[in-house]
């Protein structure tokens, strides 16, 4: 074995094999290789930094945003659909706009659905109290949805009703007796033509001297206005005359009036006027013109007037006040009325107009107002079954116990009957009210004079006043009209004939053959005025109105004869170069004239005269009913819509209901 001292001191062995000793430094060749590697890497980095192309000009952040907005595959595969740039470098989307909108809508829908799911999940984790609240909210939403659907269905139904009513009026235009009625007898035709000439004379002079004013002063040849019209010029004569012009076939005159109403009639301004007179003349006249012609403009104008009258009905009883300021809506009653009362004839003469207005507009508020009055008057206690002329609109208590079929009471009874007629004779309440009122009048007021003249006296606080107003002479026609549907038709036709005879006597016993404003029955005289303030005649129509109905119901020649006597008297005493005037004393051979051509002369007096000398096919009484200003409204009847019979009731306390008959 070798001696340890002979071996090198740094050499080590493992299992007799020497272990190499590691070097502590690199050889020169190795150092060169490492330096060369670092130099090569540095050159590559330097070249990449300075010589590779700049891609920032090729793809912008805006391009990326637009590309992402396109949605779908294009986010991940822009080559799927080509992308083009315009000359300004802006992206041109080749997709259709609606496709992108659909994608956006789909994303929004999914997002909303996800949000709803999250909200529902949150609600399901709510406490019990909150869960009940959520259920209530859900139920409320359901009810709200049902209500919206119900309103939508009602709107559709109302539109259908309006279309049905428009069809009615379309069928009415020029038909159903609104024009024509030429009599076969040449002599009668000649008299009818004379009445038409009188209408033209009255109209032409009004147009020449007072166009747009309420009435005409035919002697002074200027405009005139009574206090009932307030301080405004409302063209009362134009509106009152429209339907008379129409049925007489005066087409150009009707057009002139129609055009004035369309462009110049504005129911506004600070003026106080009569609710009753405004209703029967303006609302009635406009609605009649609509019913005859089918022109919707008239309906809209009537609605604008009625809307302004509504505040008058704001009373505890629903009974309207007599006067209203159409600007402020303030209301009051006549100062002379008993205890601040409303007047029977005024409060009771709204029904025909407002019920019909509700039917043609679909607005039930007007019918509701007049049915409330009707129901109140039906239920109130009536002394001796009679209706006094005064009633307080606040308390519903009667004022002075004064009952009359003439002034202050007249048209209340007329409208009870005509409500029933307007409804197509289907309104039993109004008919019973009328029959009961007539029974009370027969028992308490109808009297026979020593000379055998039948009349209707006035009742005043326990005593009878033996007089009849010219206004009360309408009742003869009312009794004849009411005979249909009564228990004894012949009895009431005869009662009508008796009143017609008495009222004709009031004309025949005067020097002018025109009747006074009121006439009395006592030992000294019968059917004659005694007081000076009762001797005037202001072109009133009531006697001729009764002659018209009696002619239609009896065919007795005397009614046409009496009407022609009135025509001759009007021509002799009331005609002037500028129109027609009233007279101050019917018992004078040459009476003083009052210089006023009343609007109702054109609306009523001349219309009834024209109808008396016309065939019954003109405004037949089974299809038309007249308001107290002689404006005609259609009666309920059956017509066909799309071949299906449909009933359009004219009377209903709610908007018109169109029902299958």
Question: Residue 638 forms beta bridges with which residues?
Answer: 647
In the chain, where the domains are located: 12-92, 173-528+539-660
Residue 232 CA to chain centroid, in angstroms? 23
Query: Cα(528)–Cα(539) distance, rounded to whole angstroms?
Result: 18
**27 burial class (0-12, 13-18, 19+ CB within 10 angstroms)?**
exposed
Q: What is the largest CA-CA distance in the chain?
A: 193
For residues 504 and 353, what is the distance between their CA atoms, to the nearest angstrom? 30
Region at 294 (left for phi over 0; alpha for psi -120 to 50; beta for the rest): left
Nearest to 612 by CA among 536, 525, 545: 545
- Model confidence over 454-473: pLDDT tens digits? 999 999 989 999 999 999 99
Predicted pLDDT of residue 36 = 81
Residue 22 confidence (pLDDT):
52
CA distance 414 to 421: 11
**pLDDT of res. 484:** 95
pTM equals 0.74
What pLDDT does 98 receive? 56
| 602 contacts 202 by C-beta, under 8 angstroms | yes
173 and 293 in contact (C-beta within 8 Å)? yes
Catalytic residue from among 74, 414, 517, 526: 517
Q: How many CB atoms lie within 10 A of CB 479?
A: 28
pLDDT less than 70: residues of the chain: 1-26, 46-104, 116-132, 134-135, 157-175, 637-661
* Tokens describing residue 352: 């025909």
Q: What is the pLDDT of residue 642?
A: 40
Is 517 an annotated catalytic residue? Answer: yes
Query: Which residues, in sequence order, are bridge partners of residue 639?
Result: 646
Check: CATH 1.50.10.10 for 173-528+539-660?
Answer: yes
């Amino acid at each position: 074995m070798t001696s340890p001292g002979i071996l090198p001191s740094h050499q080590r062995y493992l299992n007799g094999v020497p272990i190499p000793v590691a070097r502590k430094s690199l050889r020169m060749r190795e150092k060169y290789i490492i330096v060369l590697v670092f130099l090569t890497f540095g050159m590559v980095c330097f070249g990449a930094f300075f010589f590779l192309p700049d891609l920032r000009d090729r793809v912008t952040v805006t391009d990326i945003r637009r590309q992402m907005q396109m949605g779908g595959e294009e986010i991940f595969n822009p080559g799927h659909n080509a992308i083009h740039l315009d000359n300004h470098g802006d992206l041109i989307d080749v997709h259709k706009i609606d496709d992108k909108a659909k994608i956006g809508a789909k994303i929004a829908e999914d997002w909303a659905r996800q949000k709803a799911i999250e909200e529902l999940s949150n609600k399901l984790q709510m406490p019990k109290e909150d869960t009940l609240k959520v259920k209530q909210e859900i139920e409320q939403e359901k009810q709200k949805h049902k209500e919206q659907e119900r309103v939508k269905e009602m709107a559709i139904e109302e539109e259908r009703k309006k279309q049905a009513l428009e069809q009615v009026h379309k069928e009415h235009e020029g038909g159903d007796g609104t024009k024509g009625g030429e009599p076969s007898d040449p002599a009668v035709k000649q008299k009818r033509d004379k009445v038409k000439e009188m209408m033209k004379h009255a109209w032409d002079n009004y147009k020449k001297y007072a166009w747009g004013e309420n009435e005409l002063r035919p002697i002074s040849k200027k405009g005139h206005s009574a206090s009932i019209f307030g301080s405004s010029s409302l063209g009362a004569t134009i509106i009152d005359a429209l339907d008379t012009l129409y049925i007489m076939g005066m087409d150009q005159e009707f057009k002139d009036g129609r055009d004035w109403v369309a462009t110049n009639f504005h129911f506004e301004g600070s003026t106080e006027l009569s609710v009753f007179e405004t209703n029967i003349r303006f609302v009635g006249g406009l609605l009649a013109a609509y019913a005859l012609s089918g022109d919707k403009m008239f309906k809209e104008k009537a609605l604008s007037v009625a809307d302004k009258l509504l505040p008058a009905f704001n009373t505890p009883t629903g009974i309207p006040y007599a006067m209203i300021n159409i600007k402020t809506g303030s209301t009051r009653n006549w100062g002379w009325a008993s205890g601040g009362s409303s007047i029977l004839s005024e409060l009771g003469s709204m029904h025909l107009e407002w019920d019909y207005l509700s039917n043609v507009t679909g607005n039930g508020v007007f019918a509701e107002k007049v049915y409330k009055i009707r129901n109140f008057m039906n239920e109130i206690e009536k002394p001796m079954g009679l209706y006094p002329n005064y009633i307080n609109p606040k308390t519903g208590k009667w004022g002075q116990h004064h009952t009359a079929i003439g002034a202050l009471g007249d048209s209340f009874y007329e409208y009870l009957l005509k409500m029933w007629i307007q409804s197509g004779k289907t309104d039993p309440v109004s008919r019973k009210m009328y029959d009961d009122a007539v029974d009370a009048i027969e028992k308490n007021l109808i009297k026979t004079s020593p000379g055998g003249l039948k009349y209707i006296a006035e009742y005043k606080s326990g005593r009878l006043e033996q007089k009849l107003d010219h206004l009360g002479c309408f009742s003869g026609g009312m009794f004849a009209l009411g005979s249909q549907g009564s228990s004894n038709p012949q009895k009431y036709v005869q009662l009508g004939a008796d009143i017609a005879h008495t009222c004709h006597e009031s004309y025949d016993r005067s020097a002018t053959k025109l009747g006074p404003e009121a006439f009395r029955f006592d030992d000294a005289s019968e059917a004659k005025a005694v007081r000076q303030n009762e001797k005037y005649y202001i072109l009133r129509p009531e006697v001729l109105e009764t002659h018209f109905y009696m002619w239609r119901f009896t065919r007795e020649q005397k009614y046409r004869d009496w009407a022609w006597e009135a025509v001759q008297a009007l021509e002799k005493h009331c005609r002037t170069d500028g129109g027609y005037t009233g007279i101050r004393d019917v018992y004078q051979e040459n009476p003083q004239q009052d210089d006023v051509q009343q609007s109702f002369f054109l609306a009523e007096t001349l219309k009834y005269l024209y109808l008396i000398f016309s065939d019954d096919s003109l405004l037949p009484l089974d299809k038309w009913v007249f308001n107290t200003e002689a404006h005609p409204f259609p009666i309920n009847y059956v017509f066909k819509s799309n071949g299906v019979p449909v009933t359009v009731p004219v009377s209903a306390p709610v908007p018109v209901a169109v029902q299958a008959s």
